[in-house]
Every structure is written in C-alpha cells, then in structure tokens.
Amino acid sequence: MVFTTDSEDAERSRRGRIDSSWRRLLHRAAGRALPIALVLLAAACQRSTPNPNDVVTAADVLDAADALDAVAADAEVDSGFLDAALTDRAPLPPPLCPARDASAPRDVVAGPLTVVRVDGSSTAPQQLAVHACAGLRNRARPGSVFINANANDAAWISELALAPASTVTAAEFLSTCAAELPSCVRYDYEAQRPLLPNILTAAAVLGALPVDRSMTLSCATTSFDATIELRDRNTPALATRYVFDRFAAQTTGLAMLNPGYELAPMQPATPRITRDMGPALVDLVFSERLFLIFLVNGCIDGHPEKELLSSMVNSGRWPSPVAVYGYNNSWFTAGGYLYEAQTLCLASRNMGAIASETANLSYFSTRSAPIEGPGILRQNDPEPITYDPTRTYVAFVVGDGDNIDFIMSTRREWIQQRAAACRAGAATCPPLTWTISSHLTRLAPDVLRWYYDQGRRTGRDYFALPPSGHLYAYPSSLAPAARDRFVAATEEDACSLGLTGVVHWDWAGTWEDAERVFLPRYARLGGPVRGIFPVNVPYVLPIFTWWPPSRFFQIVTGADGGQVALFKPRSWRGVNSDTDRFFLRPQRMAEEIAAYPRGTVTWVYMTSDGGLNLQNSYLALLAMLPPHVQLVSTDTAARLAIESRR
C-alpha cells in the first residue's frame, strides 16, 4: 500500500480516524449489508503489511474515514464481537439453514394408549404376531399401542409419563387383533424359519396378522398362505424374488432382520439357524410396510443372492442412497460384521444403514409429529471460550448414537448417570458430546426431545451427528451420484438438530480421497457442518499418515472459501490396559492428554464394544486431568480449531 500524503503527521491523524471508525464498523458488518468497495478499502487501510500494488491517496483515506463514520455512527457496540474482530478471530457466521415451513401440519391426535405386557411365556411366533399387530394398530390409530417386554420399555413408560388407558396380556391382545383384522397370513414357523422375512413382508403389505400353525387363533380369511405360496420357493433367494415381484411396489423402504442364523459361524457362507427370530423392529415393518429381507450371501461376489439384491436395490423402488433399517449381521469377520454399514455390499455403492433393531418405533413414530426443520430443537449454547495457545482443548464424544437400540437402552442409562454426576458439582460436569441419530426426528421425536431435555438440565451436554451423518455408511465409497445427496441430507440433519459436528467413518484406504474430494463438500460458506470427527474402519489402522505427526487437525477449505475442521481420530474402547492405546486405563489416558503440545485441539471417541462405559472411563478420568486441559464440546472444538488458524 502506498500512501501519498503531505506529511507523516497528517497521515497518522487520518490513519487514526480510520482505525477508530473501522473498530466501530466491524460489529455492524455481521448484521448489515455494506458496500463491498467500502469494506475492501477499509480492510486495505488496516493491513499491517503494506501491499505496494495498491495506491490510496490522502483524499481516498479521508473519504473512507468519512464514509466509515457515517455507516458506523448509529452502531450499537458489541464488545464481544469487537474484541474478537480486533484479534483477527471474528465469530464464524451462523449456519444458513432453510427456514422451517410453519404452514405444514404438525399435530397428531394419538388414540387411547394400550400397553401390551409380553413376558417369557410367549412363544416366538406369538411375539412376532404381537409386534406385527402393534404396527398395524399404530398405522391405523397413531400412538395407540406400546409393547412392554423388558426393563427398557418400562423405563420409557416412566420417563415419558405414558398413561395407558388399558394394560393387557399378549394373549388378550392377540385375540382382539384376530377379531379386528380382516385377514391373516398363514405359515409354519419351524419349517420356514429362513423365509420369515419374506412372510412378514407379505403380511405387512396385506395388513394381515401373521399366524403360525402352532397358534390357536382363528381368522376370518387367509389372504396369503406361505405354506402353499412358498412351497416350491423354499430358499431365501427364491422366496425373496417372488415376494419382491408381487409386493415390492407397495412397500416404502428396505429392512434387514436375521431370522435366527448363528451370529459368529465357523462358515459364514453357510450359517445354521440356531435361535428364534427376535421381534425387534417388526412393528415398524408393519406400520410402514417395509420390504424385509435377509440374504446371508447378498454381498458376496459371484453368489446369485448378490445379483438378486442388486436388482432389487437398483430397481428404483426406494430413494438412493437406499436407507436399510434393521441390521446386517451376516459375515462376522475379524471381530465385526463385514457389511453392517451396507456401503460396500454392492458394486452400485448406494446403500447405508439405519441401525434400528429395536421395538416400539411404530408407537414413537406415530405418537408425535416429526421434527422438521431448524429451530424446534435447541441444544445448549456453545461455551464462550476464546482460543488460548497455552491450553489443551479436548472434546470427549459418546459414540454409537447411530444405533437406535443403544439410544433406547444403554445411552439412556449413561446420560442419567451423567446428570447425577453433574448434580454433584461443576468439577464432575465439564462439557460432553453425545452422538445421536437424526432419524429420531421421525422415528422417535419424543425420545429425541427427552435427550435434549437431559442436556439442558446439566447445561453442559451437547450433541453431534453419528457415523457418518445421515446414514451409517462409508461416504467416500458411495457412488458419485449418491455423494451429493448424502451431503445434502447430512446438512439438513445438522440444521434440524441444531448442531455443527459429524462423526465420519470411512473405509481404510479411502481417506486421501475423503480429505481431497468428499469432505470439502461440507466446507461451504454458511454451511451447517463445522467439524468432522473421523474414525477409520478398521479403527486399529492409522489414517492421515501424510500429515505431520504433531498435527491434530487440518482446516479443509471448500470451493467458495468455507472451512471445516477435520480432526485426527482417537478412539477409546476399553479401560483394561496400560499399553494398548485403544484400551487405556483412565490414568494412562489422562497422562497421554496431558502430554499433548499446548494449543492442541483434539477429541476422543468413546464406544462400549471393549468394555468401556461412562463410569469407568470419562467420569473416572476427570479428576486426573491437569489444569491446562480444558474439556469442550465438539461444536466448540471445531470453532477453536478454525479460529486458531485464522
């Protein structure tokens, strides 16, 4: 910058006027449209290092000062914004989420509630029939039937203060169902176990009660007799093809439930039926007419079942990427289910999972209107922290919130333990982030509200999207056509839940593509996603090995200059080792964190698959951390990371 002035004193005087006016202007810039030339000129005058390519005359400076004074004259000083701006760390602009459609109908009139008690005396076919009828009842009369089969069901009755008009036994409920429903689907449970998903699909579409030959229920009519219809179609592949051709056009989505195959077979391609089919999710299958399947070898190259599954998924029946309810627990390999996330199953790479092997979703999804759009849910305000390079910032994250069964069970217990710890005092209540499924906005909005209420009670609990945003998937492995739709859906979820962080899982070997191609899609000006918290699959393998070893995060910049913070993964799964970094005892984890370089911003992802729980990990660790370590939410970690590089 070259200033042409008559004297240095005159320049200093004019420069002072610019400084004063610029300070007054800054806080107004975030809220008003300003002439771009004026802002650029003012910014140029503020440069600490002159740019010799720009020439500004004394008259220009005076004109700019006068213009800035005129614009800033009526400004209301916001000291927080001003202080941040003068240190080159102005607040990030708020996310540009679409306005909620206030005209959309939102009221649901739930019918009188019947609670059905199911105990251990009910046979597997009876339980399937109870859950099927509950789904059909809730389809016809929203929020009218809730099944109380275990301690978790009883807990939600208490937590949500559900008030049943009547409580009946399973036998009483089935008798009423058989009398009310127009027809039934007949089948032979013992002889047709591998075909149960197909039989239940037919019954769900027909709105019929599935009745096993061992049951004494009578039906007015039989709309589908599986013992006849599937007699010559007696393999999962043949039955699935037949049921798809006949009923798929009337279904709304895809689900997978294991009919009873062993979970960790010696020969994963040929597992044996060794247990009863559980009734979890069956009520939602019937409520929403989901197409239910389980093809053990549907993801195995060269197997006819894979060709069949591919033809169904790519038939255009369901939106892509196809969201698969339930759980694919086939092919247990190296400690996990190879295709549980669905993405790597087919060459079309257009599937992801909604882990949802739980009951009563037909009740929760119909009892209340879905949560749609921003502003309905509100989590705690982010911590008012300014980045300090002498401190170490760590966001602890409770994982597996994509699994709705966990949300309905263990995570409810954990967040109640957390609330009890917070009541004991601030020392045991630093910020903590919980991953939570965005599909609760539709499948269980009252449960989602309950979690947000727990967070507001402590004032220190926050939420982030679980792996990997909209679906449990490996997004960088999705087909190119599905990637943009996935990002758009994840951003919509972030707006609806009022959060800015997403836990992102991807398959080993795809992370360079993720960093370079996929993740910059989130980095856009005004985008709702600000922080990406990765976990590798498998988690034991390192990623971002091309980063310097001391780097804990990278700022990813998008095409329009938007930014997101991409963090290095750190998983904590158990607490029984002094040497295995994924299973460290709390004292060893505290020592590791204490040794991080000052100024570090990072995170720790906690999952329970290795014996970790909230009590033996996070709550035990708190008293062991040194004073310079400050725990933060994922929202704040992302903001601090971005601000530290500005």
Give the pLDDT confidence of 309-339 residue by residue, as tens digits: 999 999 999 999 999 999 999 999 988 999 9
Predicted confidence band of residue 95 (pLDDT cuts 50, 70, 90): confident
- Give the helix ranges, DSSP H, for 181-235: 196-206, 226-229
Exposed e or buried b per residue across 366-401, where buried means at least 16 C-beta atoms within 10 angstroms of its C-beta: bbbebbebbebbebbebbebebeeebbbbbbbbbbb
- Average the pLDDT over 64-81 and give the result: 41
- Average the pLDDT over 578-583 and give the result: 98
Using CA of residue 293, residue 264, residue 353, residue 412, what is the dihedral sign? positive
Does 99 score more than 80 pLDDT? no
Give the pLDDT confidence of 481-499 residue by residue, as tens digits: 999 999 999 999 999 999 9
Q: By percentage, how much of the chain surpasses pLDDT 90?
A: 81
Q: Residue 91: what pLDDT? A: 61
- Average the pLDDT over 10-16 and give the result: 46
Whole-prediction pTM value? 0.85
Does 16 score more than 90 pLDDT? no
Give the pLDDT confidence of 451-461 residue by residue, as tens digits: 999 999 999 99
478: its two tokens = 């999705």
Q: Residue 80: what pLDDT? A: 34
> Any idea what the Cα angle at residue 324 is, between residues 322 and 329, rounded to 5°?
135
Does 103 score more than 70 pLDDT? no
What backbone torsions phi and psi does residue 41 show, to the nearest 5 degrees? -65, -45
**Top-confidence range, 26-30, 211-215, 422-426:** 211-215
For the domain made up of 392-644, the CATH class stated in words is alpha beta
Q: How far is CA 631 from the centre of its chain?
A: 22
Q: Could you tell me which residue, 186 or 77, shows the higher pLDDT?
A: 186
- Average the pLDDT over 509-521 and give the result: 97
> Is residue 4 helix, strand or coil?
strand
434: its two tokens = 């919980």
Q: Residue 645: what pLDDT? A: 87
Mean pLDDT is lowest, of 17-21, 165-169, 479-483, 621-625, for: 17-21
Q: Residue 108: what pLDDT? A: 72
> Is residue 44 helix, strand or coil?
helix
Give the residue extent of every domain in the chain: 2-86, 114-367, 392-644
Q: Could you tell me which residue, 173 or 59, shows the higher pLDDT?
A: 173
Q: Which residues contact 294 (CB under 8 A, 6 or more apart)?
A: 197, 236, 256, 257, 258, 259, 261, 330
d(CA 67, CA 59): 12
- Please compute, for residue 60, the number of CA atoms within 13 A of its CA located in the half-sphere on the CB side: 16
393: its two tokens = 């910032």
Q: Residue 105: what pLDDT? A: 54
d(CA 553, CA 572): 18
Q: Of 464, 465, 487, which is closest to residue 475 (Cα–Cα)?
A: 487
Q: Residue 646: what pLDDT? A: 76
- Average the pLDDT over 201-210 and give the result: 98
> Any idea what the Cα angle at residue 283 is, between residues 282 and 288, rounded to 5°?
100
Give the pLDDT confidence of 439-451 residue by residue, as tens digits: 999 999 999 999 9
Does 9 score more than 70 pLDDT? no
Strands annotated E in 322-441: 322-326, 332-333, 336-337, 351-355, 392-398, 432-435
Q: What is the DSSP letter of 99?
A: P
86: its two tokens = 């003068």
Q: What is the DSSP letter of 261?
A: B
> Is residue 80 helix, strand or coil?
helix
- Average the pLDDT over 274-298 and give the result: 98
